[in-house]
Amino acid sequence: MSDAKERLSDVIIVNGPPGSGKGFLSNLYVEENPHTQHIAAGQQVRGIRSGDIESVYASTVLAHLESKSYLPDETFGDIILEEMTRYPNFIDLTLVDGFPHNLGDLDYVQEKLNESGRRILGAVCLDATVDTCVARMSYRGMREGEYVRKSAIFAATESEREYYGDRYLYYLDTKDALVGMLMDRGLQIEPVDANPDILGEEGLRIVVSQFKHGILSIRANNMREEQ
């Protein structure tokens, strides 16, 4: 990543349960703001695994898939950083969802950003009920290569809706730890009520407005701290 320092941008994490609209809202924001990009960490890993995305880390990803083990924190972080530097156009803000998994990859990415004078600015955290998320996941369907990390507590079931519900429960099981690690690093948290119907015009307007406000608040607060 020898030329990464010139092309890394600041980062805002987009957090929330599966089906809350992280990717949908992030992509809408990018469409309206040409100097931003969106990276879905899980989609990146799945794309590398399937061969749809070229990556210098492909062999590592495939090796850990074969051994059914987790990616090292550094590799997971490097996959995100690699995607951030993929495009030549100037990007000053990257929205990342599906990250971090733990303090290791959070601190690794932050360290690399600091080396280029960039930072993780904060996190927009979407809140949505299990009914909202299951309905949206059922509507969109399972994405190619998507799966749940199996555990003794939350095993996938034969019923699709129960499977989506288990994914939501897995998120709840990790939510407090995730938000806690972000707060421990002094990152600003902006909550968004993602329950309104984003398929309807009024519901979409409400949620998009909150999402934009969260991003603007985080960026404005960091600008004040720099002054």
C-alpha dist (Å) from residue 90 to 23, 77, 78, 85, 122: 21, 21, 20, 10, 21
Q: What is the pLDDT of residues 100-133, one digit of tens each?
A: 989 999 999 999 999 999 999 999 999 999 999 9
51 class by beta-carbon count within 10 Å (0-12 exposed, 13-18 middle, 19+ buried): exposed
Low-confidence ranges of the chain (pLDDT < 50): 1-2, 4, 142, 144-158
Q: Architecture of domain 10-219 in CATH? A: 3-Layer(aba) Sandwich (3.40)
Q: Domain ranges in the chain? A: 10-219
pLDDT at 24: 94
- Name the helix (H) or strand (E) containing 10: strand 10-15
pLDDT at 159: 66
